Amino acid sequence: MQAMNIYQFSYSAAHFDEAFTTFQIAPTPGKAKSAEFRSFSDYDPDTKYLDFLKLVKVRKIGQSTPKRNEAPYPNQARIELINGLIRVIGRAGRKFLYSKQHDRFAAFHWADGKLWLVDDYTDRPLLMDKDVQGQHRHFSHGGTLWGLVCDFRDYILGDDDANYNNGYGGLYCPHWGYPEEDMEFIRAYAKSIGYLKPRV
């Protein structure tokens, strides 16, 4: 798994309607700032880079590779299983959780003692705490897929029967718009890795 540094960007209420926080992944702080500036420029194209830097505070909050003398995440095997399932989903049907424009899949990572989902389109790390309510603002898909990735989160965190925990039917949902043979393949794969329980 590729190492990931997570940087937090804090925007002050003094310059915006309210204070808010976003995250970026990057190998260095400079690249994180550049990525955040590109995103910021979509909303305010007139702001120059140096002026943008005055609007935010940035700090590194975690990394996905264990620090020296730090034990690896005990559920790393489940992360790898789910990331494999996401790639199966992203290669089939309507290619959910895959960005053709950026040629990348969504992926879960463990960093700084927390579980993150890196969005395939925005490349933003989304904190996947159990107490996250509603759909995350930087998730680039709809409610059905948000429910699915929350099911994946629950599985990674130890729930052996997480499918459909968060609504929409999970992998048994009939409204994906995928060909039925693709859905059957995805379900068979999910059963083979132990994620999906057979229907009784």
For 107-155, write each residue's pLDDT tens digit. 998 887 788 999 999 888 888 988 766 667 789 999 899 999 999 999 9
C-alpha to C-alpha distance for 82 and 118, rounded to whole angstroms: 13
pLDDT at 74 over 90: no
**The predicted structure's pLDDT at residue 132:** 66
Angle at 137 between CA 132 and CA 139, to 5 degrees: 90
pLDDT at 1 over 60: no
Tell me, yes or no, whether 57 and 119 share the same domain.
Answer: no
Tell me, yes or no, whether 160 and 95 share the same domain.
Answer: yes
Tell me, yes or no, whether 46 and 85 share the same domain.
Answer: no
**Amino acid in the structure at residue 150:** C
Among the listed residues 13, 143, 125, 21, the one whose alpha carbon sits nearest the alpha carbon of residue 63? 125
pLDDT tens digit sequence for 145-189: 999 999 999 999 999 999 998 888 899 998 899 999 999 999 999
Say if residues 160 and 167 touch (Cβ distance below 8 Å): no
Q: For 56, which DSSP code?
A: E
Say if residues 135 and 35 touch (Cβ distance below 8 Å): no
pLDDT at 35 over 60: yes
Say if residues 62 and 23 touch (Cβ distance below 8 Å): no
Average pLDDT, the chain: 88
The answer to whether position 68 is within a domain reads no
The answer to whether position 71 is within a domain reads no
> Would you give the distance in Å from CA 118 to the centre of its chain?
3
Split into its structural domains, the chain has a count of 2
The answer to whether position 163 is within a domain reads yes
Tell me, yes or no, whether 166 and 80 share the same domain.
Answer: yes
Name the 3-class secondary structure at 112.
Answer: coil
Tell me, yes or no, whether 84 and 172 share the same domain.
Answer: yes
Tell me, yes or no, whether 84 and 161 share the same domain.
Answer: yes
Tell me, yes or no, whether 108 and 173 share the same domain.
Answer: yes
> Would you give the distance in Å from CA 3 to the centre of its chain?
15
The answer to whether position 94 is within a domain reads yes
Tell me, yes or no, whether 21 and 89 share the same domain.
Answer: no
Tell me, yes or no, whether 148 and 170 share the same domain.
Answer: yes
Tell me, yes or no, whether 120 and 25 share the same domain.
Answer: no
Query: Binning pLDDT at 50, 70 and 90, where does residue 14 land?
Result: confident
Over residues 46-72, mean pLDDT: 83
**The predicted structure's pLDDT at residue 130:** 80
Say if residues 126 and 25 touch (Cβ distance below 8 Å): no
Q: Which residues contact 53 (CB under 8 A, 6 or more apart)?
A: 33
Tell me, yes or no, whether 24 and 101 share the same domain.
Answer: no
Tell me, yes or no, whether 56 and 101 share the same domain.
Answer: no
Domain that holds residue 55: 5-63
3-state secondary structure 168-188: CCHHHCCCCCCCHHHHHHHHH
**The predicted structure's pLDDT at residue 23:** 84
